[in-house]
Structure 1
Amino acid sequence: MNRKTLITLKTLTWIACLSPFALLVYQAVTNTLGPDPTSTIALTTGYNALLMLILSLAITPLRLLSPRLSWLIKFRRLLGLFAFFYASIHLATYVALYLNFDMSVFKTDITKRRFIIAGFAAYTLLVPLAATSTTWAIRKLGGKRWNRLHKLVYFAAICGIIHYWWQVKPGVLSPMNLTITLFVLLLARPVLTWIHERKARTVYSRT
């Protein structure tokens, strides 16, 4: 892929990732967030945090499926950082608009409300990933340690999905699509890695 195409795709990715946030800002300015603006902001930011996190997890399986898709690796960090961006707004919405910065209520929620526990666990796991997303951090930690640390993304995604299910009312199936997608990705990665390594061993044994 040439540089011009890559820049174009990255620009389009930025636009796509920022679109939900831009829409929220527009709705806030025009007072069209609906009857429960706080809920709209929380649901939109939470959903997009999970969506972008899952999209970032899809990149490795896609690359394993076809070497032609190896260029997708250049977008994994960007998607991960946007996931953290929306997760941060989601958390800020909870602290500022639901709690009104009353940290005594937060202390109660974090120990007694299970969907808050799962959501905060997911965010806590994302913090070190976002903090070590730079090239400098990769060099400082070393490739192996950096890779081990960033496997926390799977636990963050699982906690995020649990948070989503525990937050919605019983019988509401809105988290189902993301749940199925995450399940497929979690299953696909080890299977595709095994197939890829087996093919590599077969080629090596023939040489």
Structure 2
Amino acid sequence: MKKWLLHPAAKPLVFALCLGPFAWLFYGALANQLGANPAEALIRSTGDWTLRLLCVALAVTPLRVQFGLAPLARFRRMLGLFVFFYALVHLLCYSWFDMGFELGEIVLDVAKRPFILVGMLAFVLLLALAATSFNRAIRWLGGKHWQALHRAVYAVAALALLHFFWMRAGKNHFGEVAIYAAIIAALLAWRVWNHSRTKRLKAATR
């Protein structure tokens, strides 16, 4: 597994896999294959892929630590940037198809509908994470401050999940919500457990 993760083709392959859903949606829109309401299909699908890739990105560290797969860290930044990419496309689809790029209408909609406000907050946090995901930003912020900022990814996950829940609540579709909630809860629980274990190990070696 480590050998494959370090292969020169690994990163291009992961890039292609992450870009695949967008390419399919783009083709589907051009070929009119997104159903009776293509605008809604684009908004929903880009939101779904944002949440899916967020779960994948959050799983990198647990998998790396638990299975000793250090090379997995090579893909974390790319996955995080793809989360931001799909969130940005999701926001653009909403702003275009639902709001016609009318800034005033978007502001009113954010104030009127809590699930839109929650989604916007998640996007703002993602923007901060994407903007500081590069080596220069790490040097500028310092390692500790950078790590503290990037722990906000779990706040992003919670906000994204709440946004998704409110969207599905209107149609009483809670099955997918429960799956994503279980995945994010498990990943957060692992993070808390690992932090506690690390502290205990450090205390034992003093």
Identify whether the pair has TM-score above 0.5, normalized to the shorter chain: yes
Following superposition, the deviation at residue 64 of structure 1 comes to 2.7
Maintained 8 Å contact 2:5/2:72:
no
1:181 to 177, 180, 183: 183
Number of residues of Structure 1 aligned to a counterpart in Structure 2: 203
Q: Go from structure 1 to structure 2 and tell me whether the alpha carbon gap of 1:121 and 1:38 turns closer, same or farther (over 3 Å shift).
A: same
Following superposition, the deviation at residue 195 of structure 1 comes to 2.5
C-alpha deviations, 1:54-112, integer Å up to 9, x for none? Answer: 2111112222323x212111111111000000000000001111100122221211111
Question: Per the alignment, in what secondary structure is the counterpart of residue 140 of structure 1?
Answer: helix
Following superposition, the deviation at residue 200 of structure 1 comes to 5.5
Structure 1 match to 2:124:
124
Alpha-carbon separation, structure 1, partners of 2:13 and 2:125: 28
Q: Unaligned regions of 5+ residues in structure 1, if any? A: none
Q: Go from structure 1 to structure 2 and tell me whether the alpha carbon gap of 1:64 and 1:5 turns closer, same or farther (over 3 Å shift).
A: closer
Structure 2 match to 1:71:
71
Deviates more, 1:172-181 or 1:122-131: 172-181
Following superposition, the deviation at residue 16 of structure 1 comes to 0.9
Report runs of 4+ in structure 1 exceeding 6 Å deviation.
none
Maintained 8 Å contact 1:111/1:117:
yes
TM-score where L is the length of structure 2: 0.92
TM-score where L is the length of structure 1: 0.91
Deviates more, 1:188-197 or 1:77-86: 188-197
Maintained 8 Å contact 1:65/1:192:
no
Q: Go from structure 1 to structure 2 and tell me whether the alpha carbon gap of 1:18 and 1:71 turns closer, same or farther (over 3 Å shift).
A: same
Following superposition, the deviation at residue 199 of structure 1 comes to 4.4
Matched-pair identity in %: 36
Following superposition, the deviation at residue 149 of structure 1 comes to 0.9
Alpha-carbon separation, structure 1, partners of 2:202 and 2:69: 18
Alpha-carbon separation, structure 2, partners of 1:86 and 1:136: 24
Alpha-carbon separation, structure 2, partners of 1:149 and 1:159: 16
Structure 1 match to 2:14:
13
Question: Per the alignment, in what secondary structure is the counterpart of residue 184 of structure 1?
Answer: helix
Alpha-carbon separation, structure 2, partners of 1:70 and 1:142: 22
Alpha-carbon separation, structure 1, partners of 2:10 and 2:185: 27
Structure 2 match to 1:147:
147
Structure 2 match to 1:195:
197
Structure 2 match to 1:80:
80
Structure 2 match to 1:26:
27
Higher RCO by CA contacts (8 Å cutoff, separation 6 or greater):
1
Written as runs of structure 1 = structure 2, the 5 A alignment for 1:35-184 is 35-66=36-67, 68-168=68-168, 169-173=170-174, 174-184=176-186
Q: Letter of the aligned partner of 1:101 in structure 2?
A: F
C-alpha deviations, 1:140-166, integer Å up to 9, x for none? Answer: 111111111111111111100100011
Following superposition, the deviation at residue 28 of structure 1 comes to 1.2
